[in-house]
A and B are shown apart, each in its own frame.
Chain A
Amino acid sequence: MFVLASGDASYMIKLLYKYTIFGQEFYLTTTHVAMIITTVVMLGFFIAANISIRRAMASDVTSPGPFLNIVELIVEKLDGISAGGMGEHASKFRNYIGTLFIFILFNNISGIFGLRAPTADYGVTLCLGVITFCLIHYNGIKKNKLGHFTALFKPIPILFPINFIGEVATPLSLSLRLFGNVMSGTVMLGLWYGMMPLLFTLGIPAALHCYFDLFSGAIQAYVFCMLTMVYIEDKIGD
Chain B
Amino acid sequence: MTGHDLIMACSAIGAGLACIAGIGPGVGQGYAAGQAAAAVGRNPGAKGTITSTMLMGQAVAETTGLYGLAVAIILLFVKPQTW
Contacts and interface: CB of A to CB of B under 8 A. Distances in A.
Contact of A183 (B55, B56, B73): B73
B7 interface: no
Interface in A175-227: 176-177, 179-181, 183-184, 187, 219-220, 222-223, 226-227
Contact of A226 (B56, B67, B77): B56
B27 interface: no
Chain A interface residue count: which class? 10 to 19
Contacts, number: 34
Contact of A180 (B56, B60, B70): B70
A184 B69 contact: yes
A227 B66 contact: no
Nearest to A180: B66
A227 B70 contact: no
B72 to A, nearest CB: 10
Chain B interface residue count: which class? 10 to 19
A182 to B, nearest CB: 10
Contacts of B56: 222-223, 226
Contact of B66 (A12, A184, A226): A184
A176 B71 CA distance: 11
B59 A180 contact: no
A222 B57 CA distance: 12
A10 interface: no
B62 A181 contact: yes
B63 interface: yes
Given A183-B73, A187-B73, A227-B60, A219 B66 contact: no
Given A176-B67, A176-B70, A12 B60 contact: no
Contacts of B55: 219
Nearest to A177: B63
Interface in B44-83: 55-56, 59-60, 62-63, 66-67, 69-70, 73, 77
B53 to A, nearest CB: 11
A21 B62 CA distance: 40
Contacts of A220: 59
Nearest to B69: A180
A222 B60 CA distance: 11
Kindly name the residue among A173, A179, A181, A223 whose own CB sees the greatest number of chain B CB atoms within 10 A.
A223
Nearest to A223: B59
A181 B60 contact: no
B76 to A, nearest CB: 10
Interface in A5-63: 12
A74 to B, nearest CB: 18
Contacts of B60: 177, 223, 227
Interface of A: 12, 173, 176-177, 179-181, 183-184, 187, 219-220, 222-223, 226-227
Closest 4 CB pairs of A and B: A180-B66, A223-B59, A177-B63, A180-B69
11 contacts: A173-B63, A176-B67, A177-B59, A177-B60, A177-B66, A179-B70, A180-B69, A181-B62, A183-B69, A219-B55, A227-B60
